[in-house]
Structure 1
Amino acid sequence: MAQDAIVLGAGIVGVSVALHLQQRGWQVTLIDRQGPGEATSFGNAGLIEASSVVPYAFPRNLGTLLNFAMNRSTALRYDLRSLPAYAPWLARFWYESAPRRLAAAARDMLPLIQRSVAEHEALTLRAGHDDLVRPTGWLEAYRSRKHFEREANAARRISSEYQLGMNVLEGSALHGLEASIDGAYAGAIHWTDPRSVIDPGALTKGYAALFEREGGRLLIGDAATLEQSGSGWRVTTASGPVDAQAAVVALGIWSVDVARKFGYRIPLMAKRGYHMHYERDGRAVLSRPVVDIENGYVVAPMRRGLRLTTGVELASRNRPPSPVQLERAERIARPAFGLGARIDASPWLGLRPCTPDMRPVIGAAERHAGLWFAFGHAHHGLTLGPVTGRLIAELMNGEAGFTDPNPYRPGRF
């Protein structure tokens, strides 16, 4: 008998879950309050980060911590009113970032990271959108010679341990690869395995269109209406109620609201981020994303121009947007990358859903049959969307997952 499922959330994770369930014969309805790829999946640096084998951890360097505490950094900004809400989460994040626990998190995340490019490639070919993904890798650029040399040595060790493609570029070699970058950088590390996406929102929409072409339903609805209905689940949509045997919560940061409704207290907090597009000032075209390590922002070539994506802002979801972090990054990035006039009418704001142990939440809700969770991918939502879709579809279909799902289980909290 055909199985059916409701997938809540039409971002990159939800769309990927829907596609993988559909591929296994499930009848799937994908529900969101807006169109696919309109929330956090729309705005990011456009990276499929196949080289990011070590999660982004809480810094342990005293100088970095003092810099952050002053709240003048471009890499991290905090909203003072929001800090009490973040305090328990930050304490757990600091604990989980100790070297031994961070190494364990890296081991747990490795199976997902290693398959990220392959799972995207399978979907881009089916969707006919391989033109949106480029095999350029990405650059970590360093202004400090000392910092560059230290991190280059660390990168060589990581590259050898995990068999990652990597080149160390001195300043002149960096300029030879990317002529549009000025001479502010001592050097860069070119990670060659990652892919760059020139329009992340369009890629998510392309995957959603594939889902619809292959018979899936995409409806407008409110995830807050999710409720148990007999032995299954029901959601109210603009087209009426939808019932299914299973429901998958893939709502990014908003997943915590639905989980809490059914008694699951998952420590999920948002790292906010902004982006803005800029015209080019006439320099050579930037070919690949570049992260300015010391200043914590990314500049990436996109269809719409050069996209500047900020680092982390710790502010509650209901706090109004702040121009401070983007303006700081823009002042530094403009001369380095030749940013021209702003293109967007206002900065875009997105919410990266983060767990304190740096692992996503993927698996079955322990106390409710047919309820599944797929969220909490932090900075790697675009990277891990398709591979998450595969893993959770395998588990829902009763298959042996391609990797042990235990590190991601919801019940670990």
Structure 2
Amino acid sequence: MTHPVASTPARRAIVLGAGMIGTCTALHLQQRGFDVALVDRREPGQETSYGNAGLIQREAVEPYPFPRQWGKVLQAALGRGVDVHYHAAALPALARPLWRYWRDSGPTRYPQRVQAYARLIAHCLDEHRPWIEQANATDLVRPIGYLDVFRTGPAFEAAARDAARLAHAFGLDVEVLDAAALARAEPALRPGLAGAVHWRDPWACADPGALVARYARLFVQRGGRLVRADAIALSPHGGGWRLPLPGGDTLDAPVAVVALGPWSDTLLRRLGYRLPLFVKRGYHQHYADGAVLQRPVLDVERGYVLAPMRRGLRLTTGAEFAHRDAPVTPVQVGRAEHCARELIELGHAVEVSPWLGARPCTPDMLPVMGPAPRHPGLWFNFGHSHQGFTLGPVAGRLLAEMIAGEPPFLDPAPYRPGRFAG
């Protein structure tokens, strides 16, 4: 990776959103000679990028589809599961994007989505590695993979077969552990589990928000600007883009990048775009003074993750379908905690209340990356769903190459904003 080249007045950019996606986009633009202002209402890495399982998921070559098994759909509809919860009041607004999500998860369309998605995932480790090194963040990341653990024999056997399929098709490093091998690998787990699949490629981060903050610190050390402002106030101005700042000043640039994750839609609607975006909300809670896991563990048949973090053992939930800013309803946290205590000595909760965040999703499970259809100089980089933390450097590089007029290292066509009407 080369150091940034000198910027010119014409190569100015405003990047809206200082999560993993926006911060990496700012770094890649800076590397290409742009004078970049990275804008957020909070410090870098304090929104969606803060509250995840901390995995850079090289194995995640298949995006999460809408369940096609009616048993799972019925369980979610009746509110009986741990992995899915919903607000009834949100369903009318969600009906159309969820229908499209269900349709794109079908056997005709889904394989095409996997091909486009896997091409991004394949580069995640190679693109994170140099930034981790240059940001002096190697203390935060370990190449230890994670475990899918199974309570029942049939589920374990089916998962082992599927893991072999994915390993063969995508060149993944995977190990199947029977009950005895699992007990040796994770002695803190209670006996009685059927086995596990050890995905060995992923890297585990002990503090996802801190990793984003290290990347942002590197950006500032190289001359970038962090700006606290309301990114939603961006508007066209004089052939470019203007953002009002507190105190009456403004930021002006010919290029603006929307990397606001679940808040992207708020800005885009002001500019006349109607993309079929929706959110999956998720919760996490830390626990201390309990048993110690060596690596993250996904309880597949219940739908939550336990991940060793700096603050303790982080329990992360599945998906809650709700309005982005709806009141907190941590139903899944309580259910997941009950299930987790069946597997491990969990300890006590660190926070008074669980953290809540929102994942930005699209019905076709692919991110939105590329030029805005009707506004020159405006670029989109959002909709990475469950994998924004994984894909930040990949997405940042691809978008920066497009903005700089370089040949993109991946074909950006599957992710173009214009694939959605409106």
Say whether the 8 Å CA contact 1:133–1:197 is kept in structure 2.
yes
Q: Which residue of 2 aligns with 1:92?
A: 100
Q: Which residue of 2 aligns with 1:268?
A: 277
Aligned residues: 411
Say whether the 8 Å CA contact 1:121–1:130 is kept in structure 2.
no
Alpha-carbon distance in 2 for matches of 1:195, 1:92: 32
Alignment map for 1:34-49 (pairs within 5 Å): 34-49=42-57
Q: Which residue of 2 aligns with 1:348?
A: 355
Alpha-carbon distance in 1 for matches of 2:105, 2:221: 43
Q: Which residue of 2 aligns with 1:107?
A: 115
Alpha-carbon distance in 1 for matches of 2:373, 2:47: 28
User: Which amino acid in the other structure matches residue 256 of structure 1?
Assistant: D
1:67 shift after superposition: 1.0
Say whether the 8 Å CA contact 1:93–1:357 is kept in structure 2.
yes
Q: Which residue of 2 aligns with 1:223?
A: 231
Alpha-carbon distance in 1 for matches of 2:189, 2:37: 46
Give aligned-pair identity as a percent.
Answer: 51
* 1:181 maps to 2:216: no
Q: Secondary structure at the match of 2:64?
A: coil
Alpha-carbon distance in 2 for matches of 1:184, 1:6: 53
* 1:403 maps to 2:410: yes
What TM-score results when the alignment is normalised by the length of structure 2?
0.96
Alpha-carbon distance in 1 for matches of 2:344, 2:385: 27
* 1:357 maps to 2:367: no
Q: Secondary structure at the match of 1:202?
A: helix
Q: Secondary structure at the match of 1:167?
A: strand
Residues 74-129 of structure 1 show CA distances to partners (whole Å, capped at 9, x for unaligned) of: 01011111111111111000000002311111100112100001111110101000
Q: Secondary structure at the match of 2:352?
A: coil
RMSD: 1.0
Residues 174-218 of structure 1 show CA distances to partners (whole Å, capped at 9, x for unaligned) of: 111111111242111101011111000000000000000000000
**Range with greater deviation from structure 2 (299-308 or 328-337):** 328-337
Alignment map for 1:3-402 (pairs within 5 Å): 3-238=11-246, 240-281=249-290, 283=291, 285-402=292-409
1:280 shift after superposition: 3.3
Alpha-carbon distance in 2 for matches of 1:337, 1:165: 27
Alpha-carbon distance in 1 for matches of 2:86, 2:191: 31
1:10 shift after superposition: 0.5
Alpha-carbon distance in 2 for matches of 1:23, 1:256: 28
1:327 shift after superposition: 0.2
- Gapped runs of 5+ residues in structure 1? none
1:261 shift after superposition: 1.4
What TM-score results when the alignment is normalised by the length of structure 1?
0.98
1:335 shift after superposition: 3.2
Alpha-carbon distance in 1 for matches of 2:76, 2:271: 36
Alpha-carbon distance in 1 for matches of 2:108, 2:200: 27
Say whether the 8 Å CA contact 1:297–1:309 is kept in structure 2.
yes
Residues 233-279 of structure 1 show CA distances to partners (whole Å, capped at 9, x for unaligned) of: 01012362100110000000100111111111111111000000001
Q: Secondary structure at the match of 2:109?
A: helix
Alpha-carbon distance in 2 for matches of 1:384, 1:15: 12
Say whether the 8 Å CA contact 1:280–1:306 is kept in structure 2.
no
Q: Secondary structure at the match of 2:39?
A: strand
Say whether the 8 Å CA contact 1:276–1:344 is kept in structure 2.
yes
1:228 shift after superposition: 0.9
Say whether the 8 Å CA contact 1:171–1:185 is kept in structure 2.
yes
Alpha-carbon distance in 2 for matches of 1:140, 1:351: 24
Shift >6 Å, 4+ stretches: none
Q: Secondary structure at the match of 1:399?
A: coil
1:130 shift after superposition: 1.3
- Gapped runs of 5+ residues in structure 2? 1-7
Alpha-carbon distance in 2 for matches of 1:381, 1:338: 31
Alpha-carbon distance in 2 for matches of 1:85, 1:15: 31
User: Which amino acid in the other structure matches residue 398 of structure 1?
Assistant: G
Alpha-carbon distance in 1 for matches of 2:140, 2:246: 32
Q: Secondary structure at the match of 1:333?
A: helix
Say whether the 8 Å CA contact 1:41–1:200 is kept in structure 2.
yes
Alpha-carbon distance in 1 for matches of 2:232, 2:288: 40
Q: Secondary structure at the match of 1:41?
A: helix
Q: Secondary structure at the match of 1:131?
A: coil
Alpha-carbon distance in 1 for matches of 2:330, 2:117: 33
